[in-house]
């Protein structure tokens, strides 16, 4: 069984951009409930189907499979709920750890989230200076929730 152990953080400033590799991602959801999500993603020129279980702490079951690009695009265009989540995923390594910084577009414009996958929930993590507040336990920042309730519709912080 695949398990994803992930921490998420908001991002400060632009220092993280130096040396990061970027790929455009477009993703949508075929199924989304508390127990399971089924996602289709096009990342660059690759298609993926991902099944995720319920999050417990920082971990959740995850299964990801490469699928033909044309199939992924057809599912995104014809089967997935709207809005789709579109973002530029920037990848870089800091202190031996790979970070994925998602710069969201369209209805989630203005949101930048850094995530890091860990070997265990207890793994020590050196935070780069551009890492802001942790949002790992805030369900609003799950991509599936950004599809259902985009960042642009959140009430202003007050």
Name 37's Cβ contacts closer than 8 Å, sequence gap at least 6. Answer: 29, 31, 50, 51, 52, 144
- The reply to whether 29 belongs to the active site is yes
Q: From the candidates 29, 63, 65, 141, give the one annotated as an active-site residue.
A: 29
Decide if 46 contacts 69 (C-beta within 8 A): yes
CA distance 2 to 74: 26
Question: For 75, which DSSP code?
Answer: H
Active-site residue numbers?
A: 29
């Amino acid at each position: 069984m695949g398990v994803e152990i992930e921490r998420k953080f908001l991002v400060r400033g632009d220092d993280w951009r130096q040396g990061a590799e970027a790929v455009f991602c477009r993703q949508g959801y075929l199924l989304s409930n508390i127990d399971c999500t089924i996602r289709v993603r096009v990342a660059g020129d690759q298609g993926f189907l991902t099944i995720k279980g319920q999050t417990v702490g920082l971990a959740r079951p995850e299964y990801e499979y490469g699928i033909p690009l044309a199939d992924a695009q057809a599912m995104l265009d014809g089967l997935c709920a709207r809005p789709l989540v579109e973002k530029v995923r920037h990848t870089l390594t800091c202190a031996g750890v790979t970070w994925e910084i998602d710069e969201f577009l369209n209805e989630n414009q203005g949101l930048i989230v850094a995530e890091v996958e860990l070997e265990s929930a207890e793994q020590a993590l050196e935070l780069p200076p551009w890492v802001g507040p942790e949002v790992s336990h805030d369900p609003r920042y799950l991509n599936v929730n950004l599809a259902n309730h985009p960042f642009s519709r959140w009430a202003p912080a007050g």
